[in-house]
Amino acid sequence: YLRRLVLQSFRSYPSRQFQFQPTTNLILGPNGSGKTNLLEAIGLLTTGVSFRSTPLSKLIYWNSSFATVQAFIGPSGQPDQLETQLIRIDSGLISRKFLLNQVAKTRRAYIGSLLLEFSTPMIS
């Protein structure tokens, strides 16, 4: 399971860490507080792309040259570390790097390292 998520210069988060439990986790907050940005970061880790139809440059915090989304998954003794890096290069294009336990991987080899399962609350 996703134990910890570390965001650096990602969307509205200059630097932030989140801890998760192996059971249900609720993401609550007022409008504009970054809930969707958090879900987008998790989605980026699972697919390598944003679920929003925005350019990669919009994922990088204002005036930053990079963004990092890092996750620690699995048991507490030896968690796997996943990382997606977005780097703004001189031409304004964005380069993506995918790392699994600090070893660079192709996007194809990286995808599937973290699987998502969403459930909708039952409202009666």
| pLDDT for residue 113 | 74
| pLDDT for residue 28 | 92
pLDDT tens string 36-59: 999 999 989 888 888 887 889 999
pLDDT tens string 87-123: 999 877 999 999 999 999 988 888 877 766 655 555 5
- Rg of the chain in Å (alpha carbons): 15
Judge whether 113 and 77 are in contact, CB under 8 Å. Answer: no
Q: Which has the higher per-residue pLDDT, 13 or 25?
A: 13
pTM: 0.85
Tokens of 30: 């007022």
Around Cβ 46, how many Cβ atoms within 10 Å? Answer: 19
